[in-house]
Structure 1
Amino acid sequence: MGILTSSKRNRRPSRNSYTVSSRPSSPSGAANGKSFFAHVKTALSWTLGLGLGALLLVGLALGGLHLHRLATTSDFFAIRRIEIRGTTHFNREEVLKAANLQVGVNSLTVNIADVERGLRDNPGVAAVAVKRRLPDAFEIRIRERIPAFWMLKDGVLHYADNRGRTIAPVSVGNFLSLP
């Protein structure tokens, strides 16, 4: 074979999982040569770190709940303005009743999906969009179905749009002269 160079001759033999360590085991029997107190110190530091982390999370959660309660009960977010656009056949009181909105209620407690659903349930409403304008206003945009003619349905006279869909029964309070 070849001649070994001096650097390869002076190397320590490599260890693998089959070689036995020549290091004597520690008298206390601790793994990796650590003493019992070193293990206790490591365990205490981990426990303290986890405890402080859990305490921080609980503090953040309680602080968030307190801020939420303050915001939803504050007069700063009370509704002062409600803008209604796009109505010709509905008056303001009908829209507010269908939307279940009132001046003075905290705007953060209002569910916009419920407001839109309440307005869409009216057969005269084709489309609706509600926007919350913090801190104290709401904007409601309504596109109404326009009555084009009268239609007799089940013995009752109804308004109908240009596609023939019924809108609402004709009454004295909402009478329109149509063909």
Structure 2
Amino acid sequence: MRLEPALLSEMVMAMGDTGQYIQAPLPMASVAMTEGMQEAVLRLARALNVAIECSAMGNARIRDVVFEALKGEQGPALRALVLGHGNYSRIVQVLSKLHTHFADDFSVEQLAAQAHMSPSTFHQHFKQITRSSPAQYLKRLRLIKAQQLLLQDNYNVNQAAAAVGYRSVPQFSRDYKRYFGEPPLQHRRQEQALRA
């Protein structure tokens, strides 16, 4: 499900001032589903399995999920994103750039400049929001993208490493094993064996 910024903005405006976003948003994190969110997700999943229901009610079901998300623990973070509140919004813009250009090399100074912050302030706010340093975040993002290339797009290890910005295949393999618990080639072979 792709979350349309226009829909999110419309929902935030429709809900009005809840007072939640006055406090600094919590760092991005997984949160337990509320009962309301579980029900909304189930309704959406059911709609996706029935063509006529998907056609007639799909958009309403997505709005239902967004509404529950805005009411939940991460609601203030979503509001801050839409309303462009301070540091959170600036860090999210940097994250968006990292997700689009994950194979490129970035220095903390370049990212801080994009966020209009000093490097130390940027690093502090980045870590507060993502719970990792910019370098750790980018490494994790590259490894997750590489896993997708290896398992879904049938890239070989060298191709996947290069596609996500690694210049050294041995370093890529070490990082991959550390993050996923097994070397990339072994992981790919196991996945292929499961499909056969």
Band of TM-score, shorter chain: under 0.3
More helix by share: 2
Q: Which has the higher contact order (CA 8 A, sep 6+)?
A: 2
Q: Please report the TM-score for the alignment, with normalisation by the length of structure 2.
A: 0.22
Query: TM-score when scaled to structure 1?
Result: 0.24
Select the structure of larger CA radius of gyration.
Answer: 1
